[in-house]
């Protein structure tokens, strides 16, 4: 199938890394379903894609809700086409040290990251299997290696890697690859919130991270979008079950 006919679903695509990936996949010739919890929040990403000549659809859905995900995929099939690319980017943080972390904070992070990736991948895989071609890209994190104050987030992001490898094994025979991207420090609203949580200015926070990064700079959403573009491409068909750390230096 020609790339121009393919449809991608990118979750958490209203802003940040998800928005950058959605725009990049559109520039690569794919139709893009811009999925986020609040459909109206997707307008800026969708407008940007359409203004550049691409096809995009704003879709509001809670990725942790089974019925909501099934309904979202059905709508995407009807209005944009059958999705053969899924980027599971939706995520939240509820950071705290273990002894302060509530069960609700644990469950919320697990639900959005892991349950969400499972539900969206499961709902879309049948279209990939039917077409004997598909790409699943899951967003992990360097936090999967362990990070103080993020027992829930670290566990979820490590879980994304296990999910990725299993999807690669199960779906590989049907022409479907599954890979994970594990970003390091990327400038987003989420990392700005982290700086606020630990009580330092975002500028100081970025400077300190850059000084400790081998390439001596911090990451931007487009760095992740470039990697996603490769993993979704035709040329990446022999790359599956991998975790790529995009962190300006060696990780993992």
* pLDDT beyond 50 at 167: yes
Instruction: Report the distance separating Cα 21 and Cα 36, nearest Å.
Output: 13
Pair (60, 98) in one structural domain: yes
Assess contact for 119 and 161: CB atoms under 8 A.
no
Which tens digits make up the pLDDT trace of 140-156? 999 999 999 999 999 99
State how many domains the chain has. 2
Residue of 106, 133, 153, 185 marked catalytic: 153
- Quick check: helix, strand or coil at residue 125? helix
153 is catalytic: yes
| DSSP conformational letter for 221 | H
What is the pLDDT, as a whole number, of residue 1? 41
Pair (197, 91) in one structural domain: no
Which DSSP helix (H) or strand (E) runs through 162?
helix 151-171
Domain hosting 53: range is: 7-184+221-246
Which tens digits make up the pLDDT trace of 176-224? 999 999 999 999 888 888 888 788 899 999 999 999 999 999 999 999 9
Pair (29, 46) in one structural domain: yes
């Amino acid at each position: 199938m020609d790339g121009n006919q393919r449809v991608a679903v990118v979750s958490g695509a209203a802003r940040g890394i998800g928005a950058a990936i959605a725009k990049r996949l559109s520039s690569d010739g794919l139709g893009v379903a811009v999925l986020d919890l609040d459909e109206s929040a997707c307008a800026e990403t969708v407008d940007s894609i359409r203004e550049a000549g691409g096809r995009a659809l704003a879709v509001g859905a809670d990725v942790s809700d089974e019925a909501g995900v099934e309904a979202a995929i059905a709508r995407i099939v009807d209005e944009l086409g059958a999705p053969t690319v899924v980027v599971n980017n939706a995520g939240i943080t509820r950071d705290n040290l273990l002894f302060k972390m509530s069960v609700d904070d644990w469950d919320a992070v697990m639900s959005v990251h892991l349950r969400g990736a499972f539900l969206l991948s499961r709902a879309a895989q049948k279209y990939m299997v039917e077409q004997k071609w598909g790409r699943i890209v899951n967003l992990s994190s360097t936090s999967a290696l362990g990070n103080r104050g993020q027992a829930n987030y670290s566990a979820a992001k490590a879980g994304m890697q296990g999910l990725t490898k299993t999807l690669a094994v199960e779906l590989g025979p049907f022409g479907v690859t599954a890979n994970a991207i594990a970003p390091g420090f990327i400038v987003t609203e989420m990392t700005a919130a982290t700086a606020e949580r630990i009580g330092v200015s975002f500028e100081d926070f970025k400077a300190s991270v850059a000084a400790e990064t081998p390439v001596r700079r911090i990451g931007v959403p487009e760095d992740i979008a470039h990697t996603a573009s490769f993993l979704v491409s035709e040329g990446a068909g022999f790359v599956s079950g991998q975790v790529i750390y995009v962190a300006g230096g060696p990780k993992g």
